[in-house]
Amino acid sequence: MIYLDSAAVIKLVRQEACSTDLVSWLNEHDDVPLVSSALVEVEVPRALRRSAPQALIGVPAAVGRLFRLEIDSTIRATAAAFAEPTLRSLDAIHLATAQVLTNESGTALTAFVTYDRRLLACAKEAGLPVASPGQN
């Protein structure tokens, strides 16, 4: 499984730095399921509405490629328990979703893909394999 946070999904919808690298990297892993939190259904369009409203048309196709996990009580409790004080709430939900998914499914995560430096550091610290195609 490849976990994409909202910053990564936005790169699939809107052309920006590392978008081409991410698409190429995902094409190399086209046999691996893409997953995320249901949070992307809100976070991605809200971010694009501010920065690139013309890109909103691409959101349904990008989000539709992802298996999305609901934010259940286990994910909420896991997100709330992270000790890192600089980890933002929505990022904690993404990190918790990836952790809970791998723990409950028993399936290894190929990569946790993010372009947020703080979230990347927290994911590494949590022991998740990370990727930021075009940046690492």
DSSP structural state of residue 134: T
Closest alpha carbon to 94 in 17, 10, 32, 14: 10
Report the distance separating Cα 112 and Cα 99, nearest Å: 10
The tens digit of pLDDT for each residue in 19-46 reads 999 999 999 999 999 999 999 999 999 9
pLDDT at 123: 97
Calculated CA dihedral for residues 95, 96, 100, 102, nearest 10 degrees: 10
List the 34-37 sheet strands across, edge first.
67-69, 34-37, 2-4, 111-113, 130-131
pLDDT score for 136? 63
Instruction: State residue 100 phi and psi, 5-degree precision.
Output: -65, -40
Domains of the chain: 2-131 (3.40.50.1010)
Residue 106 clears pLDDT 70, i.e. is over it: yes
For tokens 């992802």, the residue is 66
- DSSP assignment, residue 8? H
How many other C-beta atoms can be found within 10 angstroms of the C-beta atom of residue 38?
A: 17
- Rounded to 5 degrees, what are φ and ψ at 127? 90, 15
